[in-house]
Structure 1
Amino acid sequence: MSIAIPADVRERVIQAAQELYEQNGRESMPTVDAVRRHARVDMNAASAVMREWRRAQTAQAAPVAVTVPEVVTQAHSAALVALWQTAQELANESLRAAQAAWEAERAEADHDRQELADAYERQAAELEEVRAAAERSARLYQEQQDTQAQTLAAVRAELVTAATRAERAEARAQEIELRATDLRSELDHAHQEQGRIRAELAAATARAERAEAQAQEAEQRAAALRGELESAHQESERSRAETATLAGELRQSQDAVAVLRAQLSSIEASKTQEIERARQERDQLLGELNTAKTAVTQAEAASAEARERAAVLAGKLESEQSHSAALAALLARLNLIAGSEGEGVEPSA
């Protein structure tokens, strides 16, 4: 069964065989394995092409024995026998050469089989070496893979740690940003509060000025009330003096009534007219006494009213004084706040 060999493979094998044959000085044929290695082809293609190449190198041109044509026999009957003998000898030589070539080809085939066996053994040994090297490479590769896996795991762990740190840093940055926003809001609120405090301070100053004016007015009213209170005290003193006078007069009247009663008792027995007159005088004295009592009652009522009015005026005076003191304290406090606010605002300006 013939094998279809590509032309480029055939050319590479023939070129490699020719180069190796020339390198050996044309003394020995190159081996199939050497040609296969040099041409970089598979063993089957190398064996088939090398067989043809060796046959071409050892083949010799030999005439082929054919039957003498009748025309030649008739024309050269005399020389036919000698020519035929010569032709048979040549044919025999060709047969012997073919047998020798066949023997050489068989020997070459045996040699090729031996070379193939040797090449197979060498290739098996090389394959075993390659397999061992592959196993060593596989173990080394596995060790490298394990090392790389451990390194990759460590890198992944470091990456996770770095990502966690980055997330924490980002959260911290967001928190700082939020805190900065809150501080800005608080600063704006503080500025607004400062403006509001300034407005309240201005309003409080205006209220303090109004309170001061009211305090001055209250002091004026208090002075007027003090004048009225002094007048009320004087009136109360006069009422008390009048009450004392009326009380003295009442006592005098009572004494006079007692005297009159004594006189009436002494005179009652002697004169009815005098009794009647005394009764009239008594009635008159009783009327005067009632009038005096009424005057005393009115004086006491006036004195009580004067005392109540004086107490009311004193309460109003104390209230106005307390209000004036509170307004003065508020004014001092507002002045203190205004002074501290001015000290706190001037450096920022």
Structure 2
Amino acid sequence: MEISNEIRSRIIEAANQLYQESGSDRFPTVDQVRRAAKADMNTTSMVMKEWRRQQTAAPAAVAVAIPERVQEAMSAALATLWSEAQELANESLAAAKQAWEAERADTDAMRVELAQAFEQQADELDDTRQKLAEAQDAAQVAGEKQQQLAQELAGVTSRLHEIEAREQAGQQRIEELRAELAEEKTEAQQQVQQYRQELEAIRAKMEQQAEQHRAELAALQEQRDTTAQELATVQARSVAQQEAAANRQKDLQAQADKLAAGLEKAQQTAAAAREQVAGLTGKLEVMESQNKELVAALKAQPKAAAPRNRTPAAKKDAAE
């Protein structure tokens, strides 16, 4: 498997940084390096294996000079030299074996770390899959809820259109009621004006009749005074004329009583006219109060239906 230089450098850099952070006491695990370098597990394990081999393979200087004891043994015997050489070879073999044991222990440790890392990664993958499934379920629920909200919004929009249509119809009805109220108000004002004119005419007629009766009464009183003077003159002239004057006085007294009765009747007629005027004034005030209450009721209840096409006679009866 070929590994790019960029990924290899990133893994080695992450391993060196983690190794330095631990104080060079222990090697970082493959999973730690994988997370820090953001690489896959296989690539990280291969590069970490090379990195650990480089860390454990300490450089050793190759001896080029003959050891001092070999030089000393040369003078003794070749057998001794061979023995010493064999001993050195055994020591090298022991060192190589020790290095191999260390490398094998490191490999076993790395294998354990890889197994643990793979298990952890598998757990993370399962967790991620579970979260993905939950997210998909949540997305499905959100989609269903969004669809439900869209349906509810459509219903609310439809109801809003119905309310707007009702409001428009109600506004139109209010305008119609206002027009009817204005028409009825105009008719009521015309009736009030007519009642006022009739009241003024009745009042003027009553005053004219009262003035006429007062003038007649004054004429009768003046005539009675004149007659009394004439009667006194006639009584002074003749007893016969006195009797005639007495009869005349009776006639005048009867006329005066008749005129007084007519005056009293005229006064009663004037009182009745004043009562009629007061009644008409009360009816006028009642009509004005009813008109005000009708206006207030229409303003307070704009949707209430008002009676239409009422005749002036029916309105007058309702006012009474």
TM over 0.5: no
State the structure with more CA Rg.
Answer: 1
State TM-score, norm by structure 1. 0.39
TM-score, scaled relative to structure 2: 0.42
